Structure 1
Amino acid sequence: MTNLLTLCLFFAIATYLVAGENLFDCPDPTLATQLVCDKDISEDGFFLTVKSKEITCPDSILNSIPITCIDIRDLDSDNRGGSVKVKDGGINYNQVTVELTSKLGQGLHFNVKVYGQSA
């Protein structure tokens, strides 16, 4: 029984400490010739809460450069980062909207870079 409890506790802690998620979607890096969006997202966490934020890159809908690469990095140095999910747009679109979500009790610490191909 003690071994089972120890094993369960180990898996619970390991799941909590899992490193944050990055997103790198770049089918052809040679087409990433122009940085169209560069944002640092940093929000402190709060005890027993999950933070979530939607980010759209680039900000302007007037962007005429199709997106060729998306690079989102979790900057959490203590390996308790969150997750990234593409909600709208993306590669070959003019904008991308992503949802950044923290782990329980942690903040959001991401760098979002979006590239296009200049004409």
Structure 2
Amino acid sequence: MPRATPMFLLPLLLLLVGPTWAQDPLDEVFPPRQPRQPHDLILCDMKPGDQLLMRTQVKQKGQFLSYVDMDFMYPPVIGYEFTEVIHCIKVTDKVSDGNGGYATIKSGGLNQNAVTINLRSQLGKGIEFILEVYGQDPTAAPPAATTDSNN
């Protein structure tokens, strides 16, 4: 006659042999850690003839229990509208261990003449970004083709 399993061992047995769909309830509260990645923002729709319109580095140290929060504008002169149309915005986070900041487009952007980018650090951290804007002036004449005059 088979021996009965004592009742106090039943929960342990269910844990060991339990269904595969069972999940640790703490996974919802504390999800598994993801590898840290940089927080780059790259929006591009490059066109033939695009060129670098602006490149700058923004770096600011963090302060205890506060955020670094700043807006960056292109063109940098308020009230002056450039004729260049933006086709690519690259904001590269130089702090690649996941402790860097975040960049978001606040206004303007691709296929427009201006863009405002918000840069924000993590709590107590600093920021270091390289910002690049590419585009072209649609009113400018295309470069003249060079001809060989030795014929």
**Class of the TM-score when normalised by the shorter of the 2 chains:** 0.7 to 0.9
The answer on whether the counterparts of 1:54 and 1:99 sit within 8 Å (CA) in structure 2 is yes
How far apart are the structure 1 equivalents of 2:37 and 2:132?
20
Identical amino acids, percent of aligned pairs? 32
Equivalent residue for 2:55, pick from 38, 53, 61: 38
Question: Which has more helix, going by share of residues?
Answer: 1
Give CA deviations for 1:37-63 in whole Å, capped at 9, x if unaligned: 111100001111111000001213331
Q: Which has the larger radius of gyration?
A: 2
Contact 1:20/1:83, CA 8 A, preserved across alignment: no
Deviations 1:15-42 (A, max 9, x none): 7x84341111112x23462211111100
The AA in structure 2 aligned to 1:88 is S
**Structure 1 pair 32/47, CA: closer, same or farther in 2 (3 Å)?**
farther
Alignment CA distance shift 1:114-1:90 (3 Å): same
Q: After TM superposition, where is structure 1 displaced by more than 2 Å over at least 4 residues in a row? A: 8-11, 17-20, 29-32
| Contact 2:70 2:118 (C-alpha < 8 Å) held by counterparts | yes
Q: CA deviation at 1:110?
A: 0.6
1:115 maps to which residue?
Answer: 134
CA distance in structure 1 between the aligned counterparts of 2:41 and 2:89, rounded to whole angstroms: 7
CA separation of 1:108 and 1:66: change in aligned 2, threshold 3 A: same
Helix, strand or coil at the partner of 2:47: helix
How many residues are matched?
Answer: 112
Structure 2 segments unaligned to the other structure (5+ residues)? 1-23, 141-151
Q: Which one of the candidate residues 23, 36, 39 is aligned to 1:21? A: 39
CA RMSD of aligned residues (A): 2.5
Richer in strand (by share):
1
State the AA in 1 paired with 2:81. Answer: L
1:84-113: CA deviations, max 9, x gaps? 111111111111001000011110101110
TM-score, normalisation: structure 1:
0.78
Residues 54 and 98, structure 1, Cα contact 8 Å, conserved in 2? yes
The 5 Å alignment of 1:65-104 reads: 65-104=84-123
Cα distance, 1:24–1:32 mapped onto 2, change above 3 Å: farther
TM-score norm. by structure 2 comes to 0.63
Say which structure, 1 or 2, has more relative contact order (CA 8 Å, 6+ apart): 1
